[in-house]
Homo-oligomer: A and B are copies of this chain.
Amino acid sequence: MTQPGRYHHGDLHAALLREAAVLLREQGVEGLSLRRLAERAGVSRTAPYHHFTDKNALLCALAEDGFRRLDRLMEEADFRADDPEPGLRRFVRGYLRFACDDPEQYELMFGRTLWKTGRPTESLTRVAHGCFRRYVDKLQADGIGAHLPGGTDALRVAQASWATLHGLCRLLLDGIYVDRQDMEAVSDQAVALMLAAVRPAQ
């Protein structure tokens, strides 16, 4: 383990990710500098470069962990009941809780830092897309597909409804047009919105 005074750290790779997660949660991406991270791990500035090709790569790995957790949340989702509303409501709350529990992680996962400025790792792209695909499949398979009005693609519903969720999180976390105390009401409204797309004129 992390024996102080040793030349070789032992498991720097894991230690870096661990410390990075803490630093991210506490200070945000802006506060997460490689140098500070290295210092925290008790190691020199450039040591991390032997475990991650780049700062970008490290951030991608961090985001990847997040997507894996989100994917687990996706697995638990269940829209199979005759009335999909309770399941959907549970899912929406879960998603919002996920984002609010660790806003900086959510920001990293979906923010431009990785997807626009830096370039996402192939591995990250795979996990992130897998997460979304699971959502589409769930919508399709869990009976909702059958309820869809003719000509409506499950993919489109998935995209639009995820956009709603995502937009809600962004507005909420950045504190632009949605307040923390509006959360519950707006979340219900979002559920109503999404439900309307699924259950057209019932």
A-side residues, CB < 8 A to B, are 28, 30, 107, 110-112, 115-117, 128-129, 132, 152-153, 156-157, 159-171, 173-178, 182, 185-186, 188-190, 192-194, 196-197, 200-202
Contact = CB atoms under 8 A, between A and B. Distances in A.
A77 B201 CA distance: 27
Contacts of A177: 129, 132, 159, 162
A192 B193 CA distance: 9
A202 B200 CA distance: 9
Nearest to A197: B193
User: For chain A, what secondary structure do more than half of its interface residues adopt (helix, strand, loop), or is it mixed?
Assistant: helix
A45 to B, nearest CB: 22
Contacts of A128: 176
A113 to B, nearest CB: 9
Contacts of A163: 164, 167-168, 170-171, 178, 186, 190
Closest 9 CB pairs of A and B: A167-B167, A196-B196, A163-B167, A166-B167, A115-B174, A163-B168, A160-B189, A156-B189, A164-B164
Nearest to A191: B160
Nearest to A131: B177
A202 B152 CA distance: 18
A73 B152 CA distance: 30
Contacts of A129: 177
B160 A168 contact: yes
